[in-house]
Structure 1
Amino acid sequence: MLLCVTANHKTAPFDLLERLSRTPEDLAGSLSETSRGAVVLATCNRFEAYVDVDGPSADADVRRILDIVAERSGIEADILHASSTVHSGPRVVEHLFSVASGLESVVSGEGEIAGQVRRALSSARKHGTTSPELERLFQRASEAQRKVKNDTALGRAGRSLVRLALELADSRIADWSAARVLLVGTGAYAAVTLATLRERGAQDVSVHSPSGRGAAFAAKHGIRSLPAAEYPRAAANASIVITCTSAEEVLDAAILRAGRGPALAPVETAGCPVPGHAAGSGSAPSQLIIDLGMPRNVSPDVAGVEGVALLDLETIRLHAPLEELQATDAARSIVRAAAATFHEVGARESVTPAVVALRAHIFELLESEIDRARRRGDDGQVEQAMRHLAGVLLHTPTSRAHELAAQGRGSEFIAAVETLYGLTAETPAAQEPDAASA
């Protein structure tokens, strides 16, 4: 049975999600030690553990999963339990399909999550923690996501966190072409952020990398890289600072104050003064710092620096736009249909070994009787009649097996075959990953 334990932006505070985002890479391995397999999906807005467990009783497995996550993350078990939601059985499928399609994101339809789902499966494969059912689940989730993207307007209506953050910044930046922008980070989010900044007309963009990869990123994208020595002053004098790095707390109040210096006059950027210590008290915030990092890149104390406004993930979530209902409804219909197909195929597969065993048994008896008829001089008529009869006799139990499976009663058919014929159905070998999703 499939289980999903999730803590996300709807159930848990951001500081808890931040701590969960730092869980060890081998967490899936710990979860799979007493189960068939596990896949861990950790993003800036959610932490989810998908586990393929042995028995139909989920309570003990859920407690075990949460206890392992609590131990590995250092979060108190009671707090983790209170901030998590559990999905089991069929509900897991629709939930993951919805997640992969962006329906459960801070901004409905955001595109980054699809790649994160694929990478979660790739990581589990790398560490050998998947199971056949988890492979099938995550492969079909990617298929559902692509259908939602191609068949609905959700992807076009939905906006990424980066785009939404910059839309919120529009009210503070009078002229993007004159704005002085500092980008902290060089990963995928940084590239998306830079592209979105350029869409808005930003020209004066520099980058700083805590890990030292700024020069390569700057050369690739045609911007300026800032060495560590220049970083405090650049951060203090930028119109807008956007952080999106895996490093923790790369900016705090001390850095901003050090960059401004004791006698630094206000700096005019894009029509908004960025004040130094000499600025009068009570002035409206004129420097915007956007923290897109998880874990948090910016210390909350920067909000106490005069003239600074901090926009973090939690604030962005509060400003997420209303979903475009028509696109969202269409997307959810696709997700529900894909989940139903997943269950139908899975149900059929659950009885397939028993059907195969029954057919093999009947055909073995059939060939024996046909051989006897041939030895008695049969001219083919008896053989033809016997083969037809075998097909007729097998049709009803085969159809009934699929009907029972669709009703969730496949185990009854399997038990009947074992009881009546003494046949033990063998589970087919694990399927190889689909080429399209490998």
Structure 2
Amino acid sequence: MDGVLVCVSASHRTADFSLLERLSAAHGGAATHLTDPGVRGAVVVATCNRYESYLDVAADSDEDVQGAMDRALDRIATDTGVSAAELRPRTRTMKASRVAAHLFAVASGLDSVVLGEDEIAGQVRRSLADARKQGTTTASLERLFQMASATSRGVKNTTRINAAGRSMVRLALDLAETRLPAWSETSVLIIGTGAYARTTLAALRDRGVGVVDVASPSGRERRFAVRDGVRPVSADGRPDALAAADLVITSTNVVALDASDLSAAGRDPAHPLLVVDLGLPANVDKDVAHVTGVDLLDLETISLHAPVQELNASAEAFDLVDQAAKDFEQRSAEDAAAPAIVAYRTHVEQVLEAELARARARGDEDDETERALRHFASVLIHTPTTRAREAAAGGRLDEVVAAMRTLYGIEVGIEGVPPAR
């Protein structure tokens, strides 16, 4: 059976944030549930703006591919508790060449709420690392995701997309700015100690914030504080930190703040507090927005304010992604010829070694002659190898296999190429 790459995608372009939140909440270990005899491997990319499953499907027909996509949707529905009836209209599916073009654009920040945002590249890399730990990658998925990361680096290094684009964190702080004292006078509490928390801290320091308190639902605040130079806040110290804060930013994976927390902190209603929830699933209960003196800014609200016109990516960035997708398809097609090329090379080398063995048996052990014969064999191999790759890239792999069989009696078993009759 052929291997076909497939993507099942729910993103900010197809689904609302409440659905994405429910999907993200249950994504742990999801890749292992997507594999079956018809799905060789899976990588799940789950972020605040998307939930996407990339699959390596064993397929002889379009019906096989469609069946794999249908099963994947059903399993995602089962794993996340979102009904298939609700999920299907809010997803889109891609296969073959469209998958590479889509993932490369995603990894480069060209499919984000904020064009050019840079967190997504790291999230794509971590998704592949997670799949490796779960044992669900394949050679095709590895190549796809590694080239996505390489494309992202190329876009970042050779275009101004990152200068034009801003991360979700920085956009949130831009929106928060008008509701706060001067940044140098703003008291900030970050709840969370992951990669997003570090990004948040860097963005705050760029704006001149001096003292930052950090709390962690998992108790890692001290480790974070030592590494990043902030003040750790223990569970016992959280009420005081909440009472003093002008700005609370959450970036963890659990509900970390609700109205009862603010009540227990004894906040002065006359002291305004802005809460920015960067978590998905949401870290802040909606009841916080009803507390006097408290404003809540969540991901859905932030995305509505993304200045898309200001953040238009350059045509050069999209051109790089398109070319990378074409290169990926060509390399994948060329790689399909590898078994035939290896078989041909082995055949030539076996003939060479047999001839050298006969020469040695006759007492002819001229080193110069052996070097010349080995060089001749390499030259002999080069042109057929090049032509085989070109033929495979042009969709004529069956001709390569037939030529090997007819000219040399070499039988090569390649998926998708029928055997000799």
- Pairwise TM-score range, normalised by the shorter structure: 0.7 to 0.9
CA gap 1:235/1:398 in 2 versus in 1, 3 angstroms = same
Secondary structure of residue in 2 paired with 1:171: helix
Secondary structure of residue in 2 paired with 1:405: helix
Query: Is 2:9 the counterpart of 1:6?
Result: yes
Structure 2 counterpart of 1:28: 31
Structure 1 counterpart of 2:366: none
Query: Is 2:130 the counterpart of 1:130?
Result: no
Secondary structure of residue in 1 paired with 2:25: coil
Structure 1 counterpart of 2:72: 65
Letter of the aligned partner of 1:22 in structure 2? A
Letter of the aligned partner of 1:49 in structure 2? S
Asked if structure 2 preserves the Cα contact closer than 8 Å seen for 1:162 and 1:196, the reply is yes
CA gap 1:111/1:326 in 2 versus in 1, 3 angstroms = closer
Asked if structure 2 preserves the Cα contact closer than 8 Å seen for 1:118 and 1:142, the reply is yes
Query: Is 2:279 the counterpart of 1:297?
Result: no
Structure 2 counterpart of 1:379: none
2-structure distance, mates of 1:318, 1:342? 34
Query: Is 2:113 the counterpart of 1:98?
Result: no
Asked if structure 2 preserves the Cα contact closer than 8 Å seen for 1:233 and 1:258, the reply is no
Query: Is 2:298 the counterpart of 1:312?
Result: yes
1-structure distance, mates of 2:234, 2:376? 83
CA gap 1:132/1:223 in 2 versus in 1, 3 angstroms = closer
Query: Is 2:195 the counterpart of 1:191?
Result: no
Q: CA deviation at 1:77?
A: 1.1
Per-residue deviation, residues 255-297 of structure 1 (Å, max 9, x unmatched): 3234346xx5623xxxxxx2xxxxxxxxxxxx32110011100
Secondary structure of residue in 2 paired with 1:164: helix
Q: CA deviation at 1:326?
A: 7.2
1-structure distance, mates of 2:184, 2:311? 35
Structure 2 counterpart of 1:50: 54
Structure 2 counterpart of 1:431: none
Question: What is the TM-score normalised by the length of structure 2?
Answer: 0.84
Structure 1 counterpart of 2:172: 165
Secondary structure of residue in 2 paired with 1:98: helix
Q: CA deviation at 1:213?
A: 2.1
Per-residue deviation, residues 201-245 of structure 1 (Å, max 9, x unmatched): 223432222222223333444433333344345435532211111
Secondary structure of residue in 1 paired with 2:7: strand
Structure 2 counterpart of 1:224: 231
CA gap 1:326/1:296 in 2 versus in 1, 3 angstroms = closer
1-structure distance, mates of 2:138, 2:321? 22
Query: Is 2:227 the counterpart of 1:240?
Result: no
1-structure distance, mates of 2:357, 2:233? 85
Identity over aligned pairs, percent: 51
Of residues 257, 265, 268, the one that matches 1:259 is: 265
Letter of the aligned partner of 2:154 in structure 1? K
Q: CA deviation at 1:147?
A: 0.9
2-structure distance, mates of 1:229, 1:390? 76
Structure 1 counterpart of 2:411: 424
Query: Is 2:394 the counterpart of 1:407?
Result: yes
Asked if structure 1 preserves the Cα contact closer than 8 Å seen for 2:106 and 2:120, the reply is yes
- Of 388-397 and 24-33, deviating more is 388-397
2-structure distance, mates of 1:109, 1:420? 53
Q: CA deviation at 1:88?
A: 0.4
Structure 1 counterpart of 2:151: 144
CA gap 1:404/1:257 in 2 versus in 1, 3 angstroms = same
Q: CA deviation at 1:246?
A: 1.7
Of residues 146, 156, 161, the one that matches 2:163 is: 156
1-structure distance, mates of 2:185, 2:385? 72
| Superposition pairs of residues 254-403 of structure 1, within 5 angstroms | 254-260=260-266, 264=268, 266-267=270-271, 274=272, 287-322=273-308, 327-358=313-344, 360-361=346-347, 400-403=387-390
Q: Which has the larger radius of gyration?
A: 1
Q: How many residues align?
A: 403
Question: What is the TM-score normalised by the length of structure 1?
Answer: 0.81
Query: Is 2:197 the counterpart of 1:180?
Result: no
Q: CA deviation at 1:151?
A: 0.6
CA gap 1:372/1:211 in 2 versus in 1, 3 angstroms = closer
Secondary structure of residue in 1 paired with 2:59: coil
1-structure distance, mates of 2:202, 2:326? 38
Asked if structure 1 preserves the Cα contact closer than 8 Å seen for 2:116 and 2:313, the reply is no
Per-residue deviation, residues 34-93 of structure 1 (Å, max 9, x unmatched): 222111111121111111111142110100111111111121111121211111001111
Asked if structure 2 preserves the Cα contact closer than 8 Å seen for 1:236 and 1:257, the reply is no
Secondary structure of residue in 2 paired with 1:36: strand
1-structure distance, mates of 2:304, 2:259? 24
Asked if structure 1 preserves the Cα contact closer than 8 Å seen for 2:252 and 2:283, the reply is yes
Letter of the aligned partner of 1:30 in structure 2? H
Q: CA deviation at 1:392?
A: 10
Asked if structure 1 preserves the Cα contact closer than 8 Å seen for 2:164 and 2:312, the reply is no
Q: CA deviation at 1:426?
A: 5.0
